[in-house]
Amino acid sequence: MFNRILVANRGEIAVRIIRACKELGIKTVAIHSEADENALHVRFADRSVCVGPPPSIRSYLNVPHIISAAEITDCDAIHPGYGFLAENAEFAEMCESSRIRFIGPTPDNIRMMGNKARARRAMDELGIPVIQGSEEIVGHVDELADQAKKIGYPVVLKASSGGGGHGMRVVRNPEDFRNLFKIVSAEAAASFKDSLIYLEKYIENPKHVEIQILADSQGNLVHLGERDCSIQRRHQKLVEEAPCIDLGEDLRKEMGECALAIARDIQYENVGTVEFLFQDGKYYFMEMNTRIQVEHPVTEMVTGIDLVKEQIKITAGQPLSFSQESVRFQGHSIECRVNSEEPDNFQPVSGYITDLHIPGGPGIRVDTALLANSKIPPYYDSLIAKVIVHGMDREDAIVKMKRALNEFHIDGTKTIIPFYLRLLDHPDFIAGHYSTHFVDDMIGGLTD
Amino acid sequence: MNLSDLRKLLRLFENSEIDELEIEQDGSRVRLKRGSPSGPPSQEPPDPIEVTSRPVSSDSEALAPGTMEDDLETSPNNRIFSSPIVGTFYRASTPKSEPYIRVGQTIHQGENLCVIEAMKVMNEIESDISGKVIKIYPDNGDPVEYGEPLFLIEISPTE
Q: Does A30 touch chain B (CB under 8 A)?
A: no
Measured between alpha carbons, how far is A105 from A215 in angstroms, rounded to an integer? 9
- Mean pLDDT, chain A, rounded, equals 93
Residues A26, A321: Cα–Cα separation, whole Å: 19
Q: Please tell us whether the domain made up of A207-446 is placed in CATH 1.10.275.30.
A: no
Residues B37 and B85 in one domain: no
From residue A268, alpha-carbon distances to A105, A108, A212 in Å are 7, 9, 13
pLDDT of residue A288: 95
Q: What's the pLDDT at B1?
A: 66
Q: Are residues B12 and B80 in the same domain?
A: no
Q: Please report, for residues A174, A366, B143, the alpha-carbon distance to residue B139 in angstroms, rounded to integers and kept in the order given.
A: 75, 43, 9
Q: At what angle do helices A438-446 and A417-425 cross, to 10 degrees?
A: 100
Name the minimum distance, in Å, from the CA of B120 to any CA of chain A.
9
A contacts of B148 (beta carbons < 8 Å): 50
Task: Flag whether B65 is in a domain.
Answer: no
Whether A73 has its CB under 8 Å from any CB of chain B: the answer is yes
B118/A68 CB distance under 8 A:
yes
Tell me the CB-side half-sphere exposure of residue B7, using CA atoms within 13 A: 3
Interface of A with B in 93-112 (CB under 8 A): 98
Is there a single domain that holds both residue B7 and residue B47?
A: yes
Polymer length in residues for chain A: 448
| pLDDT at residue B73, rounded to an integer | 79
In chain B the beta strands, taken as DSSP E runs, fall at: 20-25, 28-34, 49-55, 78-82, 87-90, 106-107, 112-118, 121-126, 131-136, 143-144, 149-155
Separation CA A52–CA B145 (nearest Å): 8
- Residues contacting residue A424 through CB under 8 Å, at least 6 positions apart: A398, A401, A402, A405, A430
Q: For residues A119-141, give the mean pLDDT.
A: 80
* Structural domains of chain B, count: 2
Tell me whether strands B106-107 and B131-136 are parallel, antiparallel or unpaired.
antiparallel
Domains of chain A by residue range: 4-103, 132-201, 207-446
Q: CB–CB of A72 and B143 under 8 A?
A: yes
Chain A segment 384-423 residues within 8 A of B by beta carbon are none
Give the count of beta carbons closer than 10 Å to the beta carbon of residue A47.
Answer: 17
B64 domain-assigned: no
Q: What is the pLDDT of residue B64?
A: 46
Does the residue B66 lie in any domain? no
Q: Is the Cβ pair B146, A67 closer than 8 Å?
A: no
Can you tell me the mean pLDDT for A227-243? 95
CA–CA–CA angle A212, A215, A221 (5° rounding): 85
d(Cα B30, Cα B54) in Å, to the nearest integer?
7
- Rounded CA-CA distance A353/A222 in Å is 41
- pLDDT above 70 (res A165): no
Chain centre distance of CA A264: 21
Residues of chain A positioned with their CB less than 8 A from the CB of B147: 34, 50, 53
Minimal-distance CA residue of chain A relative to B118: A68
The pLDDT of residue A114 is: 86
Q: Report the candidate in B151, B148, B50 with the shortest Cα–Cα distance to residue A72.
A: B148
Q: According to the model, what pLDDT value does residue A167 have? A: 74
Angstroms from B25 CA to nearest CA on chain A: 31
Single out the catalytic residue among A10, A16, A120, A291. A291
If asked whether residues B146 and B89 sit together in one domain, one would say yes
| Residues of chain A with C-beta less than 8 angstroms from the C-beta of B119 | 64, 67-68, 71, 98
**Local structure of B136: helix, strand or coil:** strand
| Helix (H) or strand (E) run with residue A440 in it | helix A438-446
- Minimal Cα distance from A72: which residue of B? B143
Contacts of residue A110, Cβ cutoff 8 Å, sequence gap at least 6: A87, A88, A89, A92, A104, A290
pLDDT tens profile A67-92: 999 999 999 999 999 999 999 999 99
Q: Are residues B55 and B75 in the same domain?
A: no
Structure confidence at residue A443 (pLDDT):
84
Are B92 and B148 members of one domain? Answer: yes
Residue to mutate among A42, A48, A68, with most B CBs inside 10 A, is A68
One domain for residues B97 and B145: yes
Give the DSSP H or E segment for A197.
strand A196-201
Q: ipTM value, please give it.
A: 0.83
For residue B86, give the nearest of A34, A53, A65 by CB distance: A65
Residue of B nearest to A32 (CA): B146
Cβ pair B85:A64 closer than 8 A: yes
Residue B21 identity (one-letter amino acid): L
Q: Which of B89, B119, B122 to mutate to test the interface with A (most CBs of A within 10 A)?
A: B119
Q: Which tens digit of pLDDT belongs to each residue from B127-137?
A: 999 999 999 99
Residue of A nearest to B116 (CA): A68
**Nearest CB to B146 within list A52, A71, A73:** A52
How large is the average pLDDT for residues B91-97?
94
| Interatomic CA distance for residues A413 and A434, integer angstroms | 30
Whole-angstrom distance, CA of residue A131 vs CA of residue A129: 7
B86 → closest Cβ in A34, A49, A53: A49
**A158 in helix, strand or coil?**
strand
Chain B residues touching chain A at CB-CB below 8 Å: 85-88, 118-119, 143-148
Instruction: Say yes or no: A242 contacts chain B, CB-CB below 8 A.
Output: no
Rounded CA gap, A373 and A41, in Å? 15
What does the pLDDT read at residue A246? 93
CA distance B140 to chain A (A): 14
Q: What gap in Å lies between CA A45 and CA A18, rounded to an integer?
A: 7
For residues B55 and B76, membership in a common domain is answered with: no
Do the chains contact at B119 and A67, CB–CB below 8 Å? yes
How many other C-beta atoms are found inside a 10 Å radius of the C-beta of residue A445?
9
Distance CA A226, CA A278 (A): 12
B150 and B77, same structural domain?
Answer: yes
Split at pLDDT 50, 70, 90, the class of B74 is confident
The arrangement of secondary structure in A4-103, i.e. its CATH architecture, is 3-Layer(aba) Sandwich (3.40)
More confident: B41 or A309: A309
Active-site annotation holds for A291: yes
Last residue of a domain, one of B59, B79, B94: B59
| Residue A440 neighbours by CB distance under 10 Å | 14
pLDDT class of B68 with cuts at 50, 70, 90: low
CA distances from A385 to A85, A338, A341, A382, A402 (A): 21, 5, 12, 9, 15
Residues in chain A with CB shorter than 8 Å from the CB of B85 are 64-65, 68
- Number of cross-chain residue pairs from A and B with Cβ atoms under 8 Å apart: 45
Q: Which domain covers residue B7, as residue numbers?
A: 3-59
- pLDDT tier at B115, thresholds 50, 70, 90: very high
What residues contact residue B91 under an 8 Å CB cut-off, 6+ apart? B99, B100, B114, B115, B136, B140
The DSSP code sequence of A103-146 is SSS-HHHHHHHHSHHHHHHHHHHHT--B--BPPPEES-HHHHHH
A145-157 pLDDT, tens digit per residue, is 888 888 889 999 8
Q: What local confidence, expressed as pLDDT, does residue B60 receive? A: 38
Residue by residue, DSSP assigns A325-388 as TT----SEEEEEEEESB-TTT--B--EEE-EEE---STTEEEEE---TTEEE-TTS-SEEEEEE
pLDDT at A230 over 60: yes
- Which residue of chain B has the CA closest to A66? B86
Mutate to test the interface with B, among A72, A78, A93, A98 (most CBs of B within 10 A): A72
H-type helices in A200-295, by residue range? 248-265
What is the rounded average pLDDT of the residues B13-32? 76
Would you call A49 an interface residue with chain B, using a CB distance cutoff of 8 Å? yes
Q: Which residue in the set B88, B119, B145 is minimally distant from A49, CB to CB? A: B145
- Cβ <8 Å between A69 and B86: yes
Q: Are residues B50 and B90 in the same domain?
A: no
Is B90 in the same domain as B26? no
**In terms of domains, do B54 and B125 share one?**
no
Q: Do B118 and A64 touch (CB under 8 A)?
A: yes
**Equal fold, A4-103 vs A207-446:** no
Superfamily of domain A132-201, CATH level 4: ATP-grasp fold, A domain (3.30.1490.20)
